[in-house]
Every structure is written in structure tokens, then in C-alpha cells.
Structure 1
Amino acid sequence: MTADLPRGRTHPLLFSGTDWDFDTIRRIYEAVEEAARNELGLDTYPNQIEVITAEQMLDAYSSTGMPQLYKHWSFGKQFAHHELVYRKGMRGLAYELVINSDPCISYVMEENSAMMQTLVIAHAAFGHNHFFKNNYLFRQWTDAEGIRDYLEFAKGYVASCEERYGQAAVEQLIDAAHSLMNQGVHRYPRRQRLDLKAEEQREAERHAYQERFYNDLWRTIPTGAQQASRQSEDKRRALLELPEENILYFLEKTAPKLAPWQREILRIVRHVAQYFYPQSQTKVMNEGCATYCHYRIMTRLHRQGSINDGAFLEFLQSHTNVVAQPTFDTPYYNGINPYALGFAMMEDIARICNDPRDEDREWFPDIAGKGDADNVLKHIWANYRDESFIAQFLSPRLIREWRIFHVLDNANKNVLEIAAIHDERGYRRIRRALARQYDIAWQQADIQVVDVDLAGDRHLILQHEVVNGILLAEGDTAQVLQNLATLWGYNVILREVDPATRKVLKEHVARATPAIAA
């Protein structure tokens, strides 16, 4: 009943002031859920809201956002760093942390005000949650239903290995595996979707079977020159399924000196890397979706009287800070803010759908004036990643408002070149150039295992397809290759190749060191 409510208000206030209790959180969640369903029609996993302390949030930061992840010394190092800068007031903490799982877990800080709890529930429990459930990359690459059980299994398995084989051996193995995580993912769909819930059972089966692939591989090594001459390179590579982009997968299946428990830990690390793979390609879209959703939900709550003017002003201040884009000449500029760009593009797409200009009709004939902005946005959230999203939907108007130019910095020239300005051709070049910055092929090196000399010294041969003439950093490459040589057990050769001429631009060699103790 609303008879006793003040004029203009259709719902009672969810809270007054900044304090909250768990009944307040329940009321906030129900109101946000009603707005998310009725205002935006969001489709989400069931939600699990957990209130945590600042120290627990720091711990979650340190374990790559996964509080249930296995223990490792590097997480403690990260915790000490984050805690130091936080205690000194040099950096704040995130108000929330959300995990792509079913149910979707949202960690919220107990230090948050009642308004901030409303904001982060709208942002994480519904904005991010909808994106996780519906975007094709997450549907294709992640198992939201099985991730929590798998992390519990992984944590227990690593702990049991430390007890049985020693903490030093396990840490050395994980150190080497972590250095290869970027090269430990499948970038193209596999024949069968990964089912993490069944991984624990499969591990037991693998252990009992003692990994038959070891014998199948190494029994093919020729015993004489005549036999070696009969075995063609193509057949050898076919047997090893080369080339292989997922180096951790190749080591797990093929490395001759690893024990079964070591292979299982490599499998755990690459599964975690694969879980995070979609997030690196959807940062702008994911944060843009969540920010757009929380803005719409909070505006609806204020309009219907569920939050008062003071709370809404507090929200607007926080929201404005989140979507602020520092200019390039400010001391704290750190590139394009994904919250700012994502939110601006979502708002611009809604404008194009509902109130297009002639320019918009020319550039976006499929959506301009369609008038169904929410469904257009939900289609975009489901079917694009950052690169394709920017390449398709960055509008000339937004390029002008953000004053974006394409500046070409050629190391061989003494001056910068303005390669694109605000004209039709320039808009397209700017959009392509910005989209390229989010291309996974430009963000991460394309390094693949291309051959193994089974008949000779068993050197592992890798190849880097050089993009835009950019070679790998010398120091980092040497360290990572040394870790790879330790895992493989023999020397490793990495050749950097020009994709056009196939010329070898540089060669790196890592000598095998004593294998990790099994």
C-alpha cells in the first residue's frame, strides 16, 4: 500500500543514512532485482551475496580475484603489496568483486555505505552477472556451474602434493607454469566443451591409468638411421598434433620427464588460465554493460522513491568518478578507462536507437531509429567482444566528443604523424586503429610448438609469428624459455619469424636444467 507515502513516491525508502544491516541488504537486493527484471529484462544466474572485510578483499585481490584458488607464495607477495599501498592511503579497494559462477558470487565490502551496497549489487550481481551468462565467449569457454567445485578440488590437490612431494618442488612447478599461462589457453573452440565438474573423477582415472600417452609417444623414437629416414617429418608432427598453440597442454600431454602429479598441476593451471581467457577480451564491454545497468537501475530506484535525493547524489558522485576519462596530459593518465568507454558507447547506442541523426542513419542503418535500445544492447552484449564491438559501434559523434585522433609514432621519424582526422575516412581509420588495440593477436604473442627432434637430441622447437615487426623482450623471453626447458627436460629453441617472408629474425635457446623433482 502506498497511501501513507509522500507525494510523488510510489515505493518506501530502502534505507535512510549510511548504516545497513542484513535485512537492509535483503530489501536492497529485492528492489534491485525487480528493477533489473522490469526495467532492463536482464537474464542472470542465481545470486549469492557475501559480505567481506577489507583484509578479505585484499586476499581476493592477491589470488587473481578467486578466493578459493590454490595457495602460492606469489599471492602472498601480492597481498603484502596491496596491503601496504592501501594502509598508506595511496590506493583504495574495490567496492565489490564478482565471480563468474553458477550461482554468481558477489563479494561486497562491509565498509560500504547502504547506497554503495545498492550500487555494487546492481553493478555486479545483475550487470556483470547478465554479461557472464549471455556473452558467447563465456558460454563457449567457461563452465560457470563447475568452477567452484573445480577450484576446491585444485586447492586440495595442490595441498596434498605439497605434503607428499614437498612445498619447494610444487612451488617450483607452479612458478614455471604461471610464467606460461598466456600461452596456456586454447584460442579456438575445441571439439568438446570443458566440463569442470567431472575433472576430479577424470583425474582419478588418469592416475589409475598412468597416462598411456607417454608410452605411445616415446615408443615411436627411431632406433637407427635407416628407421629414422623412413619416418617423415609430416607423420611425426601429425603424431604430436603439431603445431600446438597451447604450450601447457602440449607439456601436460607430451613432456617426457614429468610425473603424473606434475601433469595434473599443469592441467590445473591451464584450466584457470582458460577460465580467465574471455575476461581479457571483454573488459570494455563487461564493465560498460555493468555500468550502464547500474546507472539505469539506480535511476529507476530514485525515480520511484526507493532512495532519496541524498543517496542519489552520493551515487552520482561515485558513478562520475568511475566513468571519468583522464586526458593524455594529466599525471594519472593510464590509457583509456574501460568503464568510461564502455558506458559512453552503451549510452550512444541507446541514443542511436531512440533519437538518431542523419549521420547515425548512414553509419548504423540496422539500429538507427529502431527504438528498441534494450534488446539491441542485449544482442550486442551476447554476440561481441571488445575488438568487434568497437570496430562495429564506435560512432563519429563519440569520436568527436572524445576528441580521438590517430597519431602515428614511427621510431624512424623525428616527428609524429596525424594519420586520421575527423572526416569520413578518418573516422573509419580511427575506429579500426582503436579496435586493433583490443585485438588478442596484438595483445599476446602468437607462439606455437612446431616440432620436436625425437630422432636426435629431442630439442623442442617453437615459433613466434612476429606482428608489426615487434620482437619479444629479451629478458622476459630468456626467463620464460628457461622455465619451459625445465618442464620439457631438454633444450628449447624459439625462432621469431616474419610472417610475410618466413625469414628468421631472431633465435633464442634455453639449455635444459635438472628437472623439477618428482
Structure 2
Amino acid sequence: MPLSNNDLPLNLQKAWEQIDGHAKRYGLDYYPIVYQILDYNTLYEVAAMGGFPTRYPHWRFGMEYDQLIKGHVYGLSIIYEMVINTNPVYAYLLEGNMIVDQKTVMAHVAGHADFFKNNMWFAPTNRKMLDTMANHAGRIQRYIDRYGYETVEAFIDTCLSIENLIDYHSPYINRPEAQTSQPIVEDDDIEVAEGLPFERSYMKDFINPPEFLRQQREKLLEEQQKMRKFPENPQKDVLLFLMNYAPLDRWQHNILEIVRDEAYYFAPQGMTKIINEGWASFWHSRIMTTHAAETSEIIDFADHHAGIVAAHPGRLNPYRLGLLLLRDIEDRWNRGRFGKDWEQCDDMREKREWDLKLGKGLEKVFEVRRFHNDITFLDEFLTPEFCVENKLFTFKHNNDTDLYEIVNRDFGAIKSQLLSGLTNFGQPYIYVEDGNYNNRGELYLRHRHEGSDLRMDYARDTLKHIHTIWTRPVNLETVLDDKKRLLTFDGKEYSERRID
């Protein structure tokens, strides 16, 4: 059974009170945190559902649970911490962990909770998502009872397969494509009979009867609607467009809305993975090494912390990169290694010894935590010196040797590869270009090509799933081998043709 904070074992309760005090003295600010102790089986069940104990039934959660539990059993992966962005914050501790691990998790969670509350990219998120998820589960269960599990599950599969086709930045700005306007027909636009020179006002309705004017206005409005581009601007939130215009039953519309709401809830976590994990690691390492860890616990903490921030061949460790870059920022602003004088200094010896003793490091990292996501974080603070010091480079897999090999150590190439992998989560930009293509009710999508061709198997599956919702032929304009192509799925077969 989960335990509330009041029911935590005495040693954990005392540890949390100590860590909480140190965190707040450093300036961390967060909603109340409720810790729950779970056995490993329950913890992995909750982890499979994104940290929420109640979600709608779906095979995807079972598949993720199976993968997680196998990783635990075979020692391939262990979940040390899990925390969800709500008010109050809910965090989970694994039953049976060493006390030093529980302390580390608590300090780490304090960093996450502070980030959730104060980072601007989390500002629009639903802090009552625990209740919302439970409501979603209840609504979908009613649809299952009414329409059958297989029918509902198949439609959920369709929605989940395109859940990434949202506009990740729409909560923060007003998109013109999200605004709709109706054509306006002015009286001057309507062709009417000209009156005679001796026309009198009482003759007006006889010359141009009101019914005639109404019919003319409706006719002109209909013509304008046909000529009007729909949507008026390309729309990146494909799910919203489908919700507004696809011929969905009420229950289908509600499920699509649920999938979209949950996608937007999780989006900021994907946008801030590096800086968020870096921030939590920054604080757990500082609190543990300077305050919370006992002398007898330091070696175990160092061993486990090293595992958390270790470099992994072939993939990026967000804990490591985020932590190292935040420490670098703190050091630079403490020593004054920024600004015009620093940038213009060409003396490498002077740069190595540069220390203005400004002491602005902590102030700066709190500012970074407030305003940045992963892309802006790396774009602004990744430096050539940091890349050299931390041995960053670009690499690719050699199929002949079956090994990852260094390709480039150039700072520009390193930064470009990092940013391109993070932009739109490394996924292609797809827009709704026309909802009435060729005046036949077909959907016309456009892929904004940025140097990487679409994977054709993914593209075909995407067209198929969108067609399931739109019910009319779906077209996707893209670029393949430097030539414009139009991919089409009409419900029965795919076609591809070159366009100019």
C-alpha cells in the first residue's frame, strides 16, 4: 500500500525534512511533495502509465510494463526516481532501496519539483492532471462498455499513432492558423437593379425585393466559401484540425481530444529533458555532497551518482549533459567568463587564469532554469571550450565494423547535430495545407523538408491512420531525392507521383 509522508518510516521522514530544509535555503521553490513507497512491481506498473496510477486501458501500457520489468529482472535498467508534474507533486520511492539512494531520490525530486513550478515552458500545464487522467479513464471505459473493447481500442491505436502531430508551441503564442473568420458580404458587393431617375424611396422594395437581396447575398457567400482557402493558413496542429472538421462520432471526437490533451501535457517534458534532468542532478549532487549524505554513505552515493551521469556509447545521456553544462554556467558566471571582454580576449593564457570573482553563478543558473528549454539552453550556452573539455564529438555507426566511430570534432557540427535532433523532438514538421483539395474534400498535408527525407514506411502508416479519421483521400507533399513528391492514400491503395 502507498504511504503518505506522515506514514513514511521515521528515518525517511527525518531525511526528507533535512533535504527539504536545505533545498529551500538554496532557493528552490516547489509545490508540496507527497512521497509514496511502492514495491518494484507496482512501481513499474505506474511507470508504464507515465507515472499516473490510473489511465485508460490499452495494450501499449502493458507492452511498456513488460519492457520495464524485464530490464529490472535482468539488471539492465533500474528506476530510482519517478515524479509527476502536479499540485501537490507526487513522487515514488522504491521499497527496499538503500537509505542513501532514497535520500538521493528525494533531493533529485526536489529539483524536478522546482523546475516544474518555475520553468516557463511548464506554466500552461494542467496541475490537476492526476484527476484529469482518472476522468479520461472513466470516459473511455464507458465507451468500451457501450461500443466494445476492440472497437474503442482500434480507434485509440489510430489516435496514438499520430499523437505527435500537434503544435508544441501553441500554448505559448497565438497562431494565425488557429483563428477562423467568416467571409463578410457587404451590400455594395450585391448586384442590384438600378432605379429610375424619378425613383421614390417607397419604390425601393419593389425594384429590389428583400427576398431577392437575401438570395443574392447567400449566393455570393457560397461562392466566396468555395474560393476561400481552407484553412486560411497552414495549420501545424493536425489533431485540432481533425477534431474540428473530420466526420467523427461524439465518442471518437472525445477520444481524439483526450489523446491530444495528454500529448500537450507531456510535451514540455520532452522539450526540457536535458535541462530538467540536469537541474535535478545539479541539486541532488550538491545537497547530498554538502549536507545530506553521511560520511559512511559518500562512497555509495558517488558510485550510484557516477552511474546516473555516465557517458553511454551511441546515445546522449541527458543527465550528464544537463548537469555538466549547468555547472559550466555557474563557474563561468562566478568567474566572469562571459560578455564582450571575454569574447574578444585572444590570449589563451589570460583566458585560463580569468577570474573576476563575480560570484553570480547561482543567480545565473536560476535564471536559466526559469526561461530555457533544451534547444535555447544548448543554443545559448554550449561553447567550443565546453565541447573540448568534455570531449564531445559527432559519430555514426560503421556497418562494416559494427562500431560507432568519431566523424567530426568541429564545434559547429556538434552543435548542429544536437539542435537538429532536438528540434520538434527530431520529428518531421507536417502541416495541414488544404482541407478541401481540388474541391473534393480531400486532405492535403505538406512536409517542411529540412534536409532529411521522410521514412516511407512511417509516412504510409501516417496517411493510413489520418485517412481512418478523415475518411476521404489524404495527400502528403514531401521531397524525396531532391524532388517534390505527392503521396496519396485513398483508403484502398497508396500512390506516389512527382510534382513540379
TM-score, normalising length: structure 1: 0.76
User: Structure 1 234/383 Cα, relative in aligned 2: closer, same or farther at 3 Å?
Assistant: farther
User: Structure 1 368/338 Cα, relative in aligned 2: closer, same or farther at 3 Å?
Assistant: farther
User: Structure 1 344/270 Cα, relative in aligned 2: closer, same or farther at 3 Å?
Assistant: same
Structure 1 position 320, deviation (Å): 1.1
Partner of 2:123: 139
Larger Rg: 2
Query: In structure 1, what is the Cα distance between the partners aligned to 2:277 and 2:35?
Result: 19
User: Structure 1 475/228 Cα, relative in aligned 2: closer, same or farther at 3 Å?
Assistant: farther
Instruction: Give yes or no for contact 1:388–1:435 (8 Å, CA) kept in 2.
Output: no
* Alignment partner of 1:77 out of 63, 68, 77: 63
Query: In structure 1, what is the Cα distance between the partners aligned to 2:278 and 2:13?
Result: 26
Tell me whether 1:440 sits opposite 2:423 in the alignment: yes
Tell me whether 1:511 sits opposite 2:496 in the alignment: no
User: Structure 1 139/32 Cα, relative in aligned 2: closer, same or farther at 3 Å?
Assistant: same
Structure 1 position 93, deviation (Å): 2.1
User: Structure 1 35/442 Cα, relative in aligned 2: closer, same or farther at 3 Å?
Assistant: closer
* Alignment partner of 1:61 out of 37, 47, 66: 47
Instruction: Give yes or no for contact 1:386–1:435 (8 Å, CA) kept in 2.
Output: no
User: Structure 1 185/364 Cα, relative in aligned 2: closer, same or farther at 3 Å?
Assistant: farther
Query: In structure 2, what is the Cα distance between the partners aligned to 1:111 and 1:466?
Result: 50
Partner of 2:495: none
TM-score, normalising length: structure 2: 0.78
* Alignment partner of 2:19 out of 32, 35, 60: 32
After superposition, residues 487-502 of structure 1 pair within 5 angstroms as: 487-497=469-479
Tell me whether 1:449 sits opposite 2:432 in the alignment: yes
After superposition, residues 211-360 of structure 1 pair within 5 angstroms as: 230-231=223-224, 235-237=228-230, 240=231, 242-256=233-247, 258-302=248-292, 307-326=293-312, 333-356=313-336
Structure 1 position 447, deviation (Å): 0.4
Partner of 2:211: none
DSSP 3-state at the match of 2:486: strand
Query: In structure 2, what is the Cα distance between the partners aligned to 1:292 and 1:453?
Result: 52
Paired residue type of 2:48? S
DSSP 3-state at the match of 2:164: helix
Partner of 1:13: none
Instruction: Give yes or no for contact 2:52–2:130 (8 Å, CA) kept in 1.
Output: no
Query: In structure 1, what is the Cα distance between the partners aligned to 2:422 and 2:132?
Result: 30
Query: In structure 1, what is the Cα distance between the partners aligned to 2:333 and 2:45?
Result: 43
Partner of 1:379: 367
* Alignment partner of 2:33 out of 42, 47, 61: 47
Structure 1 position 512, deviation (Å): 2.7
Query: In structure 1, what is the Cα distance between the partners aligned to 2:393 and 2:445?
Result: 38
Structure 1 position 431, deviation (Å): 6.0
User: Structure 1 192/170 Cα, relative in aligned 2: closer, same or farther at 3 Å?
Assistant: farther
Instruction: Give yes or no for contact 1:51–1:109 (8 Å, CA) kept in 2.
Output: yes
Instruction: Give yes or no for contact 1:352–1:368 (8 Å, CA) kept in 2.
Output: no
Paired residue type of 1:119? T
Structure 1 position 491, deviation (Å): 1.2
Query: In structure 2, what is the Cα distance between the partners aligned to 1:288 and 1:360?
Result: 27
Instruction: Give yes or no for contact 1:463–1:496 (8 Å, CA) kept in 2.
Output: yes
Instruction: Give yes or no for contact 1:387–1:438 (8 Å, CA) kept in 2.
Output: no
DSSP 3-state at the match of 1:472: coil
Structure 1 position 25, deviation (Å): 1.6
DSSP 3-state at the match of 1:262: helix
Paired residue type of 2:37? V
Partner of 1:460: 443
Paired residue type of 1:401? E
Structure 1 position 488, deviation (Å): 0.9
Query: In structure 1, what is the Cα distance between the partners aligned to 2:282 and 2:328?
Result: 11
Structure 1 position 236, deviation (Å): 4.1
User: Structure 1 473/357 Cα, relative in aligned 2: closer, same or farther at 3 Å?
Assistant: closer
Partner of 1:200: none
* Alignment partner of 2:376 out of 385, 388, 409: 388
DSSP 3-state at the match of 2:123: helix
Instruction: Give yes or no for contact 1:436–1:442 (8 Å, CA) kept in 2.
Output: no
Please identify, of 51-60 and 449-458, the stretch whose mean Cα deviation from structure 2 is larger.
449-458
Query: In structure 2, what is the Cα distance between the partners aligned to 1:169 and 1:364?
Result: 65
* Alignment partner of 1:101 out of 76, 79, 86: 86
User: Structure 1 52/418 Cα, relative in aligned 2: closer, same or farther at 3 Å?
Assistant: closer
Query: In structure 2, what is the Cα distance between the partners aligned to 1:189 and 1:364?
Result: 39
Partner of 1:155: 137
User: Structure 1 497/116 Cα, relative in aligned 2: closer, same or farther at 3 Å?
Assistant: same
Partner of 1:398: 386
Query: In structure 1, what is the Cα distance between the partners aligned to 2:105 and 2:75?
Result: 22
Instruction: Give yes or no for contact 1:35–1:300 (8 Å, CA) kept in 2.
Output: no
Structure 1 position 123, deviation (Å): 0.1
Partner of 2:214: none
Percent identity of equivalent pairs: 28
DSSP 3-state at the match of 1:463: strand
Paired residue type of 1:99? I
Query: In structure 2, what is the Cα distance between the partners aligned to 1:109 and 1:392?
Result: 37
Structure 1 position 61, deviation (Å): 2.8
User: Structure 1 405/138 Cα, relative in aligned 2: closer, same or farther at 3 Å?
Assistant: same
User: Structure 1 234/467 Cα, relative in aligned 2: closer, same or farther at 3 Å?
Assistant: farther
* Alignment partner of 2:158 out of 147, 156, 176: 176
Structure 1 position 287, deviation (Å): 0.6
Paired residue type of 2:224? Q
Partner of 1:165: 147
Structure 1 position 336, deviation (Å): 2.1
Query: In structure 1, what is the Cα distance between the partners aligned to 2:279 and 2:173?
Result: 30
Which string of whole-angstrom CA distances, capped at 9 and with x for unpartnered residues, describes residues 444-493 of structure 1? 2110111122784311111111111x121111111121111011111111
